[in-house]
Amino acid sequence: MKSFVRDTVAITGKELKQLRRDPVSLVLTIIFPILLIGIFIVIVSAFRATTHNVPVVVADLDGTPASSALLSQLTQSRFIHVTQLVQTEDQAYQEVANGQVIGAIVIPQGFGAALASGNAFVIVSTDNSKLTSSAFVSVAVNQGAQDLVNEARLGEGGVNFALKIAPIEVITRPLSGRPPTGDTILPGFLGMIAILGGFDDIVNAISRERERGTFPRLTLSPVSLFAVYSGKMFATVVLTILRTALVLVIFSLYGLVIRGSLILIFLTTILIAVFTLSLGLSMSARIRGSATLTVLEIAMTFPLFTLAGTFNSPLLLASGGRAIADSLPWTYGNDALRRLIYLGAGLNAVAGDLLILFVSSLILMPIAILLSKRTM
């Protein structure tokens, strides 16, 4: 019994000494349960959003008291946020096509007269690559139209257009791109595969090499550290191309119609993986153990499914969650993949998203090299 206790105490002391030698692992061991609870709190609070503020533009082509009353209803909606009033129908649709807004609401000329005769309609064009967000636009317009009809019938708020008892028809014209059978989360999954692949490459490229003792020998060779990291990054590019090709084949077999340029899709996943690798290289300078890095990878993966827009658009998050999502370069990568795959968007539509990923990688790479030099 005494020997069992003695051995137990010795093993306990050894484990504590090993943790003390790796301060980062010790901190993560202590705070990981707290971090995990915090992650779920963020996710729950994000899905409990009471307002959504999906951005839309409105083209009021009628300019009558009736159309102004409908516009007033739309601006009061808790689902949408009218960001701009445009003059023409083409301008409204162009804002959606360029990715500036999720929906365009067109109040046609003659709306007031049609409302009085019971034949009024409103046109809604939505970005169908964001299915849930576009649904909120349709819901908001239908609700606003119904509220206008109810007020007109009751004569509330000075609204009285000699209205016949007939609802306002909402004609929805989603941008073509997402086929009815397409799964709305497949592009997000492609983005997450690129992210997880980048994290795995970090573990294999740096952490496990350090554990085997080969990384210090590599840094002592005549090859510069920048060349070492660049070589590992190009290896990640090759692996990302293979992963993306395999996933796209699976998507095609699943029935997904890919409407965008394959070159741009591959470029997007490569930039996602390169940014992930750049971030991981910075982290690996402080986190030496592959197991510790793997735990951190898992801890980051769960919130990214929500915050980076894998399942739904970040526009549906609460204000705090949306602010976090907007600060993550991965969010822009997933958005670009949706627009490329579902809408067939071109380079102009996703150039901003790709630039954010590229610049973020350029910023992180020198930081990773500097941190690695300081920890050798």
Q: 296-324, pLDDT tens digit by residue?
A: 777 777 777 778 877 667 777 777 778 88
DSSP assignment of 154-222, as one string? HTGGG------S-PPEEEE-PPTTS-TTS-TTHHHHHHHHHHHHHHHHHIIIIIHHHHHTHHHHHHTSS
pLDDT-wise least confident of 99-113, 173-187, 208-222: 173-187
By the 10 Å C-beta count (0-12 exposed, 13-18 middle, 19+ buried), 94 is classed as: middle
| 51-79 pLDDT, tens digit each | 567 889 999 988 888 888 888 888 888 88
**What DSSP designation does 346 have?**
-
Whole-number average pLDDT of the chain? 75
CB atoms within 10 A of CB 47: 13
On the question of pLDDT at 269 being above 90, the answer is: yes
Q: Tokens 């790709």 correspond to what residue?
A: 354
List, in sequence order, every beta strand (DSSP E) within the chain: 54-60, 80-86, 103-107, 121-126, 169-172
Q: Is the pLDDT of residue 10 over 80?
A: no
Residue 110 in this model has a pLDDT that exceeds 70: yes
Instruction: State the average pLDDT over residues 218-231.
Output: 68
Out of 17-21, 218-222, 308-312, 350-354, which region has the weakest mean confidence (pLDDT)? 17-21
Distance CA 191, CA 328 (A): 13
**Band of pLDDT at residue 180, cut at 50, 70 and 90:** very low
Amino acid at 98: N
Residue 43, pLDDT above cutoff 80? no
Res 149: pLDDT: 78
- What are the residues whose beta carbons fall under 8 Å from the beta carbon of 365, sequence distance 6 or more? 229, 278, 281
Percent of the chain with pLDDT over 90: 7
- Interval 238-261 mean pLDDT: 82
pLDDT value of position 209: 63
pLDDT-derived band at 266, boundaries 50, 70, 90: very high
For 228-246, the pLDDT digits (tens) are 777 777 778 888 888 888 8
Does residue 354 register a pLDDT over 90? yes
Domain ranges of the chain: 54-172, 181-374
The domain made up of 54-172 has a fold known as abc type-2 transporter like fold (3.40.1710)
Q: What is the pTM of this model?
A: 0.62
Distance, first Cα to last Cα, the chain: 45
User: Is 146 a residue whose pLDDT tops 80?
Assistant: yes
b (16+ CB within 10 A) / e for 352-367 = ebbebbeebbeebbee
**Tokens linked to 364:** 């992180």
Helix (H, G, I), strand (E, B) or coil at 118: coil
pLDDT grade for 177, boundaries at 50, 70 and 90: very low
CA distance 142 to 103: 13
